[in-house]
């Protein structure tokens, strides 16, 4: 990002899991300028408005959930190390505020976009990413709620597409439950009227 560079990858229905021999096809632009990547997307998919003019933010309530594993494991690990090495082990606790800061920044960066042509999500703070798919390529929808989602009143909407083998799932995460249900109904209605294109 500091050099203004990005990587542009594609998923194809016939691609399958990542293999060395199809790397050239998957990595459409292994390393290129941000403007070049955007121009390439607009050239290949002229019907899409990329990048979206406006991203829908994710509510910040529960941002700490992104560092929950750290909040649980670091105190336990510190206690175990303290028993063995004493006071120097307490330095490990310094990772807790760093982890919380990263979680807060990551949640603030997350967003989604939906229009009549495509759905997109973005995320990451240190390593930023964007993922999108044309609505004609969406094959299935799934609403997910973990026990923590139930506690916080949130839900995530997972979208399955043909050839989806990317590093990041196409999912609208941590939405208010009512909003997630409404989006699922909206997408289900839109998809029922469309013909799946491969």
Domain 5-58+110-192 CATH (choose: 2.30.29, 1.10.8, 3.40.50, 3.20.20): 2.30.29
55 exposed, middle or buried (CB, 10 Å; 0-12, 13-18, 19+)?
middle
- With a CB cutoff of 8 Å and minimum separation 6, the contacts of 30 are 7
CB count within 10 Å of CB 127 equals 7
Q: Report pLDDT digits (tens) over 99-119.
A: 999 999 999 999 999 998 899
pLDDT band (50, 70, 90) for residue 164: low
Q: Is the pTM of this model over 0.85?
A: no
Q: Report pLDDT digits (tens) over 12-52.
A: 765 555 555 455 457 888 899 999 999 999 998 898 889 99
Domain boundaries, the chain: 5-58+110-192, 63-103
């Amino acid at each position: 990002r500091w050099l203004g560079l990005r990587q542009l990858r594609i998923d194809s229905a016939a691609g399958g899991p990542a293999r060395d021999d199809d790397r050239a096809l998957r990595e459409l632009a292994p390393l290129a300028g941000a403007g070049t990547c955007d121009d390439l997307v607009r050239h290949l998919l002229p019907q899409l408005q990329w990048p979206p003019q406006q991203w829908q933010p994710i509510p910040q309530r529960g941002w700490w959930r992104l560092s929950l594993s750290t909040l649980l494991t670091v105190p336990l690990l510190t206690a175990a190390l303290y028993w063995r090495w004493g006071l120097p082990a307490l330095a490990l606790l310094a990772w807790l505020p760093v982890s919380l800061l990263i979680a807060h920044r990551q949640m603030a960066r997350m967003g989604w976009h939906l229009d009549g042509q495509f759905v997109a999500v973005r995320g990451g703070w240190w390593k930023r990413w964007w993922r999108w798919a044309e609505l004609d390529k969406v094959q299935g929808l799934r609403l997910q709620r973990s026990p923590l989602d139930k506690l916080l009143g949130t839900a995530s909407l997972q979208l399955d597409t043909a050839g989806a083998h990317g590093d990041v799932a196409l999912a609208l995460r941590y939405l208010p439950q009512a909003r997630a249900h409404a989006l699922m109904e909206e997408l289900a209605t839109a998809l029922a009227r469309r013909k799946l294109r491969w």
